[in-house]
Structure 1
């Protein structure tokens, strides 16, 4: 491998002294490479137009001569408004600049300026976003706009990038093999970087971005695949001797047949469990696709191989539900299931922990109580985490440390496209159940305005009179002055009065675990007909008799969360319904409601949700490892991501990638990421 290239410190650039270098460091610019990779986030178009051709409220650029002394007016706390009259062609207009009082001394009478801003035709006024002396540069009508900071203006950044191209153009090295550039008809690296900073037209910019986005994705995917490959060849995980005939008998004894998708992912998981490396797999599938039974099969396989299994879930209610279900499945085979939550205390807890340490408990189900120091497994081989996004990275990691490199299976009911899942969840493999069991009735979904709530309650009464039950979900617990949304306590009071012949219960996050358990238990036993709740009921709760889900202020929720809530019904044999109560004033809100009413496909809905909210909001700030790309967007550029991932997977598995000179720049990037060990392939 070639020696890593030198990274030239930014203070070597002409015009950058210690103070400016310090300011640049605040922007993450420490080297010339960093400066070249500090891409604009938008462009001002300097195509000069006659104001007669500019539409009202349109962004435009004009050249004109200053006709009046600038007037400066202060208002509020340190806010200012600077106005000056400019003659542009035959138009005498007023230019307004906000919060830039320092420009007063530079805008001199009779001088020529170039101004970019929004044109108000009725008031003959241009609200300027940018103004500078003289006419625009003849080289380009596009001007890059960068994220600036105190001490560094956008203009200064432009000048520094231009100087870098003059002084250090050779710093921009081509790192893609010629075969890739030819195959995808990509722009060269140096030309692409120059264009992304100073484009001349839209098509040139598009081609430059296409090249750089592919490169970003390829380098990221190479790191993921190389890391995964190195982990596999290290062979330091649990290697179970899977008893396939015993597992097959267990599957055949189930009261239902597995779908083809379930059979496929079971084989993927069992293959990993039987390998020498530690499994790190994400199991994703739509609501009701049968992820839990797949996890049960994996836990059974671990138990008959002589290992213990752990299943961690986010709530006590869900833990109890899973423990009961698994005990019913495993008890006939002599496999012992234990339950550990915060409610398990005293003598019962002590007996459980001793049994676990002695290996008498084969499968332990619980909440985050599983990661407490006193919980000791004798021989932990498989860890399953349900709704993994509900747990922090440290919680998930702490459970893994209870064994010696146990196999890990994460489960999520928020499915996303496979390539995106593989990329977002880093070094995990991904198994996808993309098929629902046959015979299930589609949940009928309706979007209605809250003014017809009386008709909705009438419909609810009809369902309850047939012996069914209903969930009613609200976004808040108590009245809020900030948000005009229905709250659980008010809705509970209203429904208790409107449906006096039925029992209505209230459940929310501020109740104690015992109170929540009591409310949910009463609902499951049909002692309660209507459960008013916040989203604590969202995940995993199984009440087959519930046929109606009503969601107040549904437009306040994300699509994936709405789909999760809808999945609490439709678990029995009767027709189930979901009613979305939302006035939905914005176009985005209306689109969400329309999508929910039109489809029950969780993969489609999560795709739409990603587009509406973006990856950061969708996965949440707690999601570890969500890549922060300079140009690429995992949703907008999904096709490119797929191509780059396939290329990276093929390269890392090839002998040529690790030895041929044409791939040396890519290997150099891996070395700079700390992946210096060459993967030895058979």
Structure 2
């Protein structure tokens, strides 16, 4: 499939545009503008009112004014490079035009004394006198009609002037083809949106400030096109995942009943809802592709295990994958008691399994004697064969993107897929990142989880904090002490953590304090974690290694040093490591005063709430979408026009619209389907285009 010819002019080289040479094209590339198409989606962010005024007297400087003047005397620069001045007079008052580095004969030609000119530029007051430095426009009165009343202002970069940008955009707009509309006609009529070409032209020719707002119909339509193309790509990915025939795995309840009977508490309503959604998906003959999203401590483990049991009850096997060895072992620890209650065989497979032991596990897996396997990516190695794999659960601490989910499908696994994430993602982002999946949300805390008391302490009270710790350790409690990560160098982190470790060892005694950091060999890291989990060490000094999934119910104190340099989500994750046992838990956030506004707001939010979804929404509002999940590696698209924070509702409409279009027209062969294909090419969604397989 190749790009439709109607789009060729927009995908030509930039230097095919009038006035754009090779050098200018290089400057444009710095802005991410490589083809005329990119210019179409680089919209003006501001505008300048260039309507003709009678006089500058009514303006409040500094302000941009357009006014007709009579040119008076020229005063040349006194020294080289100094200002040359030209006196001018409008209908009511006199002011000066100021030029630096201008040649006298050039000024005389532009502004002949005694003649009338229209000047437009910024009026400022300097030494009590009104002046306009380097006017943006100097025109003969008869040419002033060409000046737009409201001039759009574009983002620029070194080597690209506003004039050049406007010229390049105008040349591109001349190439805009008339495309058939891909938007559902009812939606278009309801929102009063213009057609595509009309919207593009309007967005580049705003008449007032309100035309620059995201809510302006032309802009909203273009934002929607971007979101719709993205959601169509995800919907195609979802359809291709599901096109691989799934297998119906129907639960009998045989093992699940045993586990529920052994639980000391009842599952929350949210857990029951999620279990029901997953079981229903698994019973269908389409492949499941579902995201289980739950806050720290919302009880994802139980829901995941019940899903694994559905696979076993249906006569198959389940696998749970974690990103690291430590986490795989943690899952093993938390699932083992449940497996014993159910009476199913649970095993672990990591890169550490070697030789005979590994061979025995592989044999048991192949003939179905192992029901549930917990592991790292090692479970995908060539020699690992399942007897009948029905469900793969991916614990998504490592951003398992759309591409990896598709790889999983490409392995020919017809298994259902459940992705778990402990990062509460605001709905708008989860649609953008996981729009190809169905979502189950755990938004209640299970019974018995106590709230964590959160306190802010300035770093000057370090001795007090250590005293508090000494007391707690004497009472048999355990604590985490998290040292800040210093971005510049891992060695600095290391010294920060090691210094703190030594200092605490001196204060609290030998053998009481353990240390974990990113530079340790995995075996040492595991040993330090194990010593803490088994209660041999009472205080664990760590860099943020521990934010992922460590579960030590006896740990009831969390000290976070330099809390002000951590992100909201990270602080929330860290705090979630405590409050897992019976004891009252505390989280002490130590900060170095003075706090800037952002840090103060972050710490205040954490004191107010433990609701991860609310925290995530605040985080999104404070940091923006790209930052929140580190766009570079998150697979989150970079939108040029759409704004994920403010246009979440539009994204939801785009998702349901994309899914409906594909349900009605899976091959995109109808008139609207054909138009949608052109949109995918226009938005450079090449991956999506590869997914529209014939039939």
Larger displacement relative to structure 2 (242-251 or 403-412): 242-251
Q: Give 3-state SS (helix, strand or coil) of 2:222's partner.
A: helix
**Alpha carbons of 1:483 and 1:118: their partners in 2 closer, same or farther (altered >3 Å)?**
farther
Q: Give 3-state SS (helix, strand or coil) of 1:376's partner.
A: coil
Counterpart in 2 of 1:225?
235
Counterpart in 1 of 2:385?
376
> How many residues end up aligned between the 2 structures?
660
Q: Give 3-state SS (helix, strand or coil) of 1:7's partner.
A: helix
Q: Deviations over 1:402-434 (max 9, x none)?
A: 662322211111112335313212422211111
Deviation at 1:53, TM superposition (A): 4.9
Counterpart in 2 of 1:203?
210
**Alpha carbons of 1:31 and 1:348: their partners in 2 closer, same or farther (altered >3 Å)?**
closer
Distance 1:117 1:468 in 2: 67
Deviation at 1:650, TM superposition (A): 4.0
Distance 1:130 1:519 in 2: 69
Q: Give 3-state SS (helix, strand or coil) of 1:171's partner.
A: coil
**Alpha carbons of 1:346 and 1:193: their partners in 2 closer, same or farther (altered >3 Å)?**
same
Counterpart in 2 of 1:36?
40
Q: Deviations over 1:177-224 (max 9, x none)?
A: 543232123344344322321211022333132222223223332343
Q: Deviations over 1:269-295 (max 9, x none)?
A: 122222222222211111000111111
**Alpha carbons of 1:240 and 1:43: their partners in 2 closer, same or farther (altered >3 Å)?**
same
Is 1:453 matched up with 2:450? no
Match of 2:617 among 588, 591, 607: 607
Is 1:406 matched up with 2:406? no
Is 1:508 matched up with 2:520? no
For the 8 Å contact 1:9–1:30, the answer to whether it is kept is no
**Alpha carbons of 1:200 and 1:401: their partners in 2 closer, same or farther (altered >3 Å)?**
closer
Deviation at 1:551, TM superposition (A): 0.7
Distance 1:477 1:23 in 2: 36
Counterpart in 1 of 2:301?
292
Counterpart in 2 of 1:642?
652
**Alpha carbons of 1:440 and 1:354: their partners in 2 closer, same or farther (altered >3 Å)?**
same
For the 8 Å contact 2:301–2:335, the answer to whether it is kept is no
**Alpha carbons of 1:556 and 1:188: their partners in 2 closer, same or farther (altered >3 Å)?**
same
For the 8 Å contact 1:67–1:109, the answer to whether it is kept is no
Distance 2:569 2:248 in 1: 36
Is 1:525 matched up with 2:534? yes
For the 8 Å contact 1:70–1:104, the answer to whether it is kept is no
Q: Give 3-state SS (helix, strand or coil) of 1:329's partner.
A: helix
**Alpha carbons of 1:463 and 1:53: their partners in 2 closer, same or farther (altered >3 Å)?**
farther
Deviation at 1:67, TM superposition (A): 5.2
Distance 2:148 2:188 in 1: 28
Q: 1:475-624 residue pairs with structure 2 within 5 A?
A: 475-476=484-485, 487-500=496-509, 503-582=512-591, 583=593, 585-621=595-631, 623-624=633-634
Distance 1:584 1:396 in 2: 45
Is 1:15 matched up with 2:18? yes
Distance 1:347 1:656 in 2: 49
Larger displacement relative to structure 2 (641-650 or 556-565): 641-650
**Alpha carbons of 1:197 and 1:498: their partners in 2 closer, same or farther (altered >3 Å)?**
same
Counterpart in 2 of 1:6?
6
Q: Deviations over 1:608-632 (max 9, x none)?
A: 1122222222222454531222200
RMSD, aligned α-carbons: 4.2
Q: Give 3-state SS (helix, strand or coil) of 1:487's partner.
A: helix
* Structure 1: runs of 5 or more not aligned: 74-81
Distance 1:454 1:304 in 2: 56
Deviation at 1:375, TM superposition (A): 3.3
Distance 2:130 2:500 in 1: 51
Q: 1:116-127 residue pairs with structure 2 within 5 A?
A: none
Deviation at 1:6, TM superposition (A): 1.2
Counterpart in 2 of 1:155?
163
Q: 1:329-340 residue pairs with structure 2 within 5 A?
A: 329-340=338-349
Distance 1:107 1:505 in 2: 76
For the 8 Å contact 1:323–1:339, the answer to whether it is kept is yes
Deviation at 1:228, TM superposition (A): 2.7
Q: Give 3-state SS (helix, strand or coil) of 1:496's partner.
A: helix
Larger displacement relative to structure 2 (457-466 or 36-45): 36-45
User: Could you state the TM-score of these two structures normalised by the residue count of structure 2?
Assistant: 0.82
Q: Give 3-state SS (helix, strand or coil) of 1:674's partner.
A: helix
Deviation at 1:85, TM superposition (A): 5.3
Counterpart in 2 of 1:272?
281
Q: Deviations over 1:583-615 (max 9, x none)?
A: 363211111111111111100111111222222
Distance 2:148 2:637 in 1: 35
Deviation at 1:30, TM superposition (A): 7.4
Q: 1:234-273 residue pairs with structure 2 within 5 A?
A: 234-273=243-282
Deviation at 1:117, TM superposition (A): 6.9
Match of 1:443 among 424, 445, 452: 452
For the 8 Å contact 1:46–1:143, the answer to whether it is kept is no
For the 8 Å contact 1:51–1:91, the answer to whether it is kept is no
Q: 1:83-232 residue pairs with structure 2 within 5 A?
A: 90-92=94-96, 108=107, 111=110, 131=136, 133-134=138-139, 138-147=147-156, 153-165=161-173, 167-168=174-175, 171=178, 174-206=181-213, 207=216, 208-229=218-239, 231-232=241-242
Is 1:674 matched up with 2:653? no
User: Could you state the TM-score of these two structures normalised by the residue count of structure 1?
Assistant: 0.83
For the 8 Å contact 1:144–1:197, the answer to whether it is kept is no
Q: Deviations over 1:472-515 (max 9, x none)?
A: 11123899799999921222222223334881221111111221
Deviation at 1:549, TM superposition (A): 0.8
Deviation at 1:133, TM superposition (A): 5.0
Counterpart in 1 of 2:398?
389
Q: Give 3-state SS (helix, strand or coil) of 1:467's partner.
A: coil
**Alpha carbons of 1:106 and 1:417: their partners in 2 closer, same or farther (altered >3 Å)?**
farther
Larger displacement relative to structure 2 (115-124 or 210-219): 115-124
Q: Deviations over 1:319-369 (max 9, x none)?
A: 222213322222354422222234433443333333333433222212333
Deviation at 1:226, TM superposition (A): 4.5
For the 8 Å contact 2:402–2:434, the answer to whether it is kept is no
**Alpha carbons of 1:426 and 1:181: their partners in 2 closer, same or farther (altered >3 Å)?**
closer
Counterpart in 2 of 1:474?
483
**Alpha carbons of 1:346 and 1:161: their partners in 2 closer, same or farther (altered >3 Å)?**
same
Distance 1:124 1:554 in 2: 51
Match of 2:637 among 618, 624, 627: 627
**Alpha carbons of 1:485 and 1:126: their partners in 2 closer, same or farther (altered >3 Å)?**
farther
Q: Give 3-state SS (helix, strand or coil) of 1:6's partner.
A: helix
* Structure 2: runs of 5 or more not aligned: 112-117, 683-687
